[in-house]
A and B are shown apart, each in its own frame.
Chain A
Amino acid sequence: SQKIEQNSEALNIQEGKTATLTCNYTNYSPAYLQWYRQDPGRGPVFLLLIRENEKEKRKERLKVTFDTTLKQSLFHITASQPADSATYLCALITSGTYKYIFGTGTRLKVLA
């Protein structure tokens, strides 16, 4: 069956550390993958897009990797801050149909 799973429902880390979130997928053929941040009661905010032929993308303190062999994307936030606390969603965009399939999300809490 087709699945997108994010490693954990919740993740607590200490301020200043690097947060690493995982997104695994099975039985999908991705065109690209995106990461979003969602705060309670708000719509998701786009963070990064990585295509299936790209290995890594960076934007300020954010880094995303994409391994199509492992069928996995990792999302890193370096020098994490309490303001980074939110739910992070990965979205796989299928090749051909370009449909968005969302993971279940990981609630990140950065402790001061």
Chain B
Amino acid sequence: DAGVTQSPTHLIKTRGQQVTLRCSPKSGHDTVSWYQQALGQGPQFIFQYYEEEERQRGNFPDRFSGHQFPNYSSELNVNALLLGDSALYLCASSFTGGAGTEAFFGQGTRLTVV
């Protein structure tokens, strides 16, 4: 089992550009969540996808959008990049089976906006 895989691992973009990050969940998982982790901070919840729908959203602007595909993989899109969007973006997958269900995290994508 490959676990949760994210691509790319590192990315450098210019202010105002758009970026797409990708995530493949752990086998058997149907739910994907995205988190933003700024340097020295804890991860902050962006949104969660289940059955190809956004099920829950954190306090992030509409510039952040996502998608989930029929095979449960997911994309995170960020438009009009700002310097403050520089962070580690983490994808977590889980199986929708209650609040105690463990979330498995990928290695993350390090986004740098210059």
Physical interaction between A and B: no
Using CB atoms and an 8 Å cutoff, list the residues of chain B in contact with chain A. none
